Structure 1
Amino acid sequence: MSYVSDMNHTLSTTSKSSVVTILRSLNWPKTIFLVGIPLAATISLHWIPLRKETFWVGLAYAYIRALTVTAGYHRLWAHRSYLASTPLKIIFAIIGAGAGQDTIKKWCRDHRAHHRYVDTDKDPYSMSKGFFHAHIGWVLFEQSDPVRGVLATGRVDISDLRSDPVVIWQRKYYLILLFLAGYLAPTLYCGLLYDDYLGGFVFAGCIATALQQQGTFCVNSVAHWYGSQPYSTDKTPKDHPLTGLLTLGEGYHNFHHEFPIDYRNGVRWHDFDPTKWVIWLCAQFGLATNLRRFPQNEIEKGRIQRRREKLDEESEKVDWGVPLEELPVMEWEEFQQQARTGCNLIVIRGAVHDVSAFVTEHPGGAAMITGAIGKDATEMFEGGVYGHSNAASNLLDTMRIAAIKKEANVE
């Protein structure tokens, strides 16, 4: 009994110690902001009626804020896939702050590290550390390097961000902009328009903010976990239309990691990528210029190379017969000797084939095969008697047992 009690005490102590360790390692301000506030807001809907108008306002504003992240934070500042006018940059900076995904500088610094060090320990949201870490754990448990006092992620160049006046301005006033664009704006809109201040704050503000944040987090997790890899299998990024739908076009992630400077993620015309459409539309009004596209020839190269890899992978599962260069060499005299002793051997295209199992199965009758035993039947097989199909050639290859010696005199 004493042993059992000691074990229970040890397990209890270990469990408590683990919980304490987890609680201490949490980044509490971000945990409260990303989890606590949305959770409290969701629970409050039990007492606060959600009006239909507020529901649609919340979804629409979440969509708009998400677009400022995908078109602004991501494709403009992180990848410089196009140039934007100052008014457009200011709009992206203000509404993007309302998305609650940190400053442009911080967001882009992490994202550039992600691309440069993808799937390694220097990748801030590396999928190699698990789905939860890639999705939100990297934020909740964000830790600093005890020596350098900065995030323990790989180094990247952000000199362009440090010199961008809009980025500098947004960083200086980020918390104010977050409150104004993220919470006050939807609250006032719903309140002044149809007297739903509380609903506007709870749903269009708190919950809608959390929804679009989760959409962005899905790019880091789902888009590295589920889908196809039509361009490269070197890393975890994947393409999937559903992820593209959830993330405003960011779900074509395999393409994006291969061609990050392209302002499009969904490169095909039918790919759901509203972000590229917004950027293109801005260009029509002179708000965006120099929309960068990776050369189509190089995109096609990547796609074709990946198709070849897939074919090679499938080919390895198929019996093609022993390659000619790997077959043992048989002298012509030995070949004829074995044929005379009852072996059903035929030479075609420089290889000895054992056709014993196929004699009675031959569509043209057994006599056509038995008449070629002990001979070189290449001409007969390739059209002298009948032009055999590709399938027949493939089947024949599985019957190879040796390569005939080239310098031999054959009949």
Structure 2
Amino acid sequence: MSKPRGKLAQLVPRAASRHTWKTEFEWYRRNFHGFLHTSLVGPIVVIFLTAPYVVPKQNTILMAIVWGIIGGFSITIGYHRLWAHRSFTACIGIRIVLAVIGAAQNQWPILWWVKHHRAHHKYTDTDQDPYNAKRGLLFSHIGWLLGLNEIAWGPVDLSDLKQDPVVIWQDRLYWPILITIGILLPGAVAHCGWNDWKGGMLYAGVTRIIITQHITFLINSVAHASWAGTQPYSACTTARNIPLLAILTLGEANHNFHHAFPTDYRNGVNWMEPDFSRWIIWLWERLGWASDLKTASRLEIEQARLNQQKERTQRQGGNHEVNQALFKLPRMSWEEYKQRSDNLDNLICINGVVYNVADFMDDHPGGRDLIQQSLGKDATGLYHGNHLHSPHADNILKGLQVSMLEDSCQ
């Protein structure tokens, strides 16, 4: 890694990728995924052909709704907030239950789900984002699966999940769990309870799975659509807050808040941001089943809101004050920076400013390894690369400042 040069680098917005109908058609043709087409479209055909001959009983419909809500929580609380963002820690019993019920929603194993979701957050709205919203509603909703190309996704760190025995266990037994818990169990309950095994399997099984899938997909598509919702916290990404959709998605459609504060176990902090998943996690903590609930501070949230309300003029117009604060930091030469890094000090350099990241490495949304490989180097390109960091991330970084490189003051 070469020595950084000149003054503090300025963040230059990148031009958005352009995707025409022709390029999109070629994408789907080249990356046609037969299995995913079958698993996503096939059940809809089955429902359409068999529904006229299977009239569900009232208890079956009620079971399908309840089972669908429980399944939705397994994705929002388990797959998303627990495993993808490490927003809290759960006991082994809760993790097993979330892994089993999550597998029954046919949204694929935790490892694979977290892989694409972490890539989405790290490379939001770029070509390395698995469900890049700038490629249109169809692509961000389901097209990214029908034309699957994992090679195009940006790399992410999954080392923490590979050390979780529950995640590995679920990955190995995913298909038996899906078939048994997701389809056969509803049929067995309906058969033993009110003699409706066909309705149980079709409506509380297959139909419920399809509906739960597409409710999840709405977060990737509608909650990133330019015509939908509001952006009260940040305009750095396409993510929107949509209160009505948040009710349907158990809190997930408070998406602008989530992208601004991705490690917060909450996806909303006021009554206009309904978040049922948040309160279940809160209750689990009171019962001793969950711990280490991560939250953004009230000050950080309010600062983000004010910055956005003023169209970020305060942040952009305050560059002089920011630079004045930077020049008050103690000076450090590049050689001293390298020497302290060689002595195992957890230092990184961004834009000529040195930061001590020792207490932040385990909380970094992109994973500890991403910071580990940047220690003792110039990480400017990494910080301002494919992922556009939010004002919340900038504020966290500001609190880690320890010094400024001498060459950056010249």
Alignment of 1:136-155 (within 5 A): 136-144=142-150, 151-155=151-155
Shift of 1:253: 0.3
What residue is the counterpart of 1:395 in the other structure? Answer: none
From 46, 53, 63, the equivalent of 2:59 is 53
Distance 1:84 1:249 in 2: 19
Secondary structure at the aligned position of 2:38 is classed as helix
Q: Retained in 1: the 8 A contact 2:101–2:181?
A: yes
Distance 1:307 1:287 in 2: 38
TM-score with structure 2 setting the length: 0.68
Distance 2:229 2:104 in 1: 30
Alignment pair present for 1:121 and 2:127: yes
Q: Retained in 2: the 8 A contact 1:215–1:246?
A: yes
Out of 119-128 and 242-251, give the one that drifted further. 242-251
Residues 164 and 19 of structure 1: CA distance in aligned 2, closer, same or farther (over 3 Å) = closer
RMSD of aligned alpha carbons:
1.9
Counterpart code for 1:234: C
What residue is the counterpart of 2:204 in the other structure? Answer: 204
What residue is the counterpart of 1:179 in the other structure? Answer: 179
Secondary structure at the aligned position of 1:309 is classed as coil
Q: State, as a whole percentage, how many aligned pairs show the same letter.
A: 40
From 216, 237, 262, the equivalent of 1:235 is 237
Alignment of 1:68-79 (within 5 A): 68-79=74-85
From 131, 136, 139, the equivalent of 1:133 is 139
C-alpha deviations, 1:26-69, integer Å up to 9, x for none? Answer: 21211111121133123311111122211111111111111000
Alignment pair present for 1:99 and 2:101: no
Secondary structure at the aligned position of 1:234 is classed as coil
What residue is the counterpart of 1:194 in the other structure? Answer: 194
Shift of 1:19: 9.1
| Higher gyration radius (CA) | 1
Shift of 1:309: 1.4
Out of 198-207 and 31-40, give the one that drifted further. 31-40
Alignment pair present for 1:280 and 2:282: yes
Distance 2:32 2:108 in 1: 17
Alignment of 1:12-411 (within 5 A): 25-144=31-150, 151-225=151-225, 226-269=228-271, 271-309=273-311
Distance 2:115 2:269 in 1: 25
Distance 1:55 1:232 in 2: 40
Moved over 6 A (4+): 18-21
C-alpha deviations, 1:257-299, integer Å up to 9, x for none? Answer: 0001110002214532111111112112211111111111000
Shift of 1:115: 0.2
Counterpart code for 1:33: S
C-alpha deviations, 1:114-148, integer Å up to 9, x for none? Answer: 0000000000001011111100111111025xxxx
Counterpart code for 1:92: L
TM-score with structure 1 setting the length: 0.68
What residue is the counterpart of 1:409 in the other structure? Answer: none
What residue is the counterpart of 2:378 in the other structure? Answer: none
Counterpart code for 1:84: A
Distance 2:45 2:70 in 1: 22
Higher relative contact order (CA 8 A, sep 6+): 2
Secondary structure at the aligned position of 2:293 is classed as coil
Gaps of 5+ in 2: 1-23, 315-410
Out of 108-117 and 276-285, give the one that drifted further. 276-285
C-alpha deviations, 1:296-343, integer Å up to 9, x for none? Answer: 10000000111111899xxxxxxxxxxxxxxxxxxxxxxxxxxxxxxx
Shift of 1:233: 1.1
What residue is the counterpart of 1:396 in the other structure? Answer: none
